Amino acid sequence: MTETNNIPGLLAKHGFEAVIGLEIHVELSTLSKMFCDSAVTFGEPPNTHVCPVCLGLPGTLPVVNRKAVDYCALIGLALGCEIADFTQFHRKNYFYPDMPKNYQISQFDLPLCSAGRVTVNVDDNKTDIRITRVHMEEDTGKLVHIGEGGRIAGAKYSLVDFNRAGTPLAEIVSEPDIRSSGEARAFLQKLRSILLHLGVSDCNMEEGSLRCDANVSLRPENSPKLGVKTEVKNMNSFRGLVRALDYEIVRQLELIQDGEAVKQETRHWDAARNITTSLRSKEEAHDYRYFADPDLVPLKLSREWVKKQEESLPELPDARQKRLISAFKVSEYDSRFLTQSKAHGDYFEQVMENFGDAKMAVNWIMGELSAHLNADNKEMAESPMQPERLAQLLTLVEDGSISGKMAKEVFSEMYETGKTAPEIVDDRGLKQISGDDELAVLVDQVIGENQTAVEEYRSGKKQALGFLVGQIMRLSKGQANPGKVNEILREKL
User: Which residues of this protein are in contact with ligand ADP, per CB under 6 A?
Assistant: 19-23, 173-176, 215-217, 226-227, 229, 282, 285
Distance CA 90, CA 108 (A): 6
Residue 10 C-beta: closest distance to ligand ADP, Å? 18
Minimal distance in Å, beta carbon 213 to ligand ADP? 8
- Which residue, 58 or 224, has its beta carbon nearer to ligand ADP? 224
Q: Whole-number minimum distance, CB 92 to ligand ADP, in Å?
A: 11
Question: Minimum distance from CB of 215 to ligand ADP (Å)?
Answer: 3
* Euclidean distance between CA atoms 229 and 131, whole angstroms: 18
Least CB distance from residue 264 to ligand ADP, whole Å? 8
CA 283 to chain CA centroid, Å, is: 31
Least distance (Å) from ligand ADP to the CB of residue 61? Answer: 29
Name the minimum Å distance from CB 291 to ligand ADP: 17
Pick between residue 14 and residue 359 the one whose CB is nearest to ligand ADP: 14
Nearer to ligand ADP, 266 or 350 (CB): 266
If the CB atoms of residues 76 and 387 are measured against ligand ADP, the closer one turns out to be 76
Are the C-beta atoms of residues 220 and 16 closer than 8 Å to each other? yes
Q: How far is the CB of 175 from ligand ADP (least distance, A)?
A: 5
| CA-to-CA dists, residue 66 to 55, 299, 445, angstroms | 21, 11, 78
Helix, strand, coil distribution of the chain in percent, nearest 5 = 40, 20, 40
Q: Report the residue number, 185 or 229, with the smaller CB distance to ligand ADP.
A: 229
Distance CA 472, CA 438 (A): 12
**DSSP codes joined into one string, 143-170:** EEEESGGG-STT-SEEEEE-TTTT-EEE
Q: Which CB sits closer to ligand ADP, 61 or 226?
A: 226
Rounded Cα distance, 41 and 161, in Å: 12
Task: Choose between 19 and 424: whose C-beta lies nearer to ligand ADP.
Answer: 19
C-alpha separations of 324 from 186, 332, 337, 392, 398 in Å: 20, 9, 11, 21, 22
Burial (Cβ within 10 Å: 0-12, 13-18, ≥19) of residue 332: exposed
| Nearest to ligand ADP of 20, 73 (CB atom) | 20
With respect to ligand ADP, which residue has the nearer C-beta, 133 or 197? 133
Q: Tell me how crowded residue 41 is: count the other CB atoms within 10 A of its CB.
A: 14
**Mapping DSSP to helix (H, G, I), strand (E, B) and coil, where does residue 314 land?**
coil
In whole angstroms, how close is the CB of 256 to ligand ADP at the nearest point? 14
Question: In the bound complex, what is the minimum distance in angstroms from residue 231's beta carbon to ligand ADP?
Answer: 7
Residue nearest to ligand ADP (CB): 21
Shortest reach from residue 23's CB to ligand ADP, in Å: 5
Q: Which is closer to ligand ADP, CB of 175 or CB of 409?
A: 175
48, 268, 424, 435 from 432: Cα distances, Å: 58, 58, 13, 9
The type of residue at 266 is: T
Residues 398, 364 contacting (CB under 8 angstroms): no
Residue 354: count of CB within 10 angstroms of its CB: 15
Residue type, 300: K
Distance separating alpha carbons of residues 21 and 6, to the nearest angstrom = 20
Quickly list H helices, 377-480. 387-398, 404-417, 421-427, 436-449, 451-458, 463-475
Helix 317-328 with 342-352: angle, nearest 10 deg: 20
Show the beta-strand stretches assigned E in 141-274: 142-146, 157-161, 168-174, 210-220, 230-235, 265-270
- Looking at beta carbons only, is 77 or 173 nearer to ligand ADP? 173
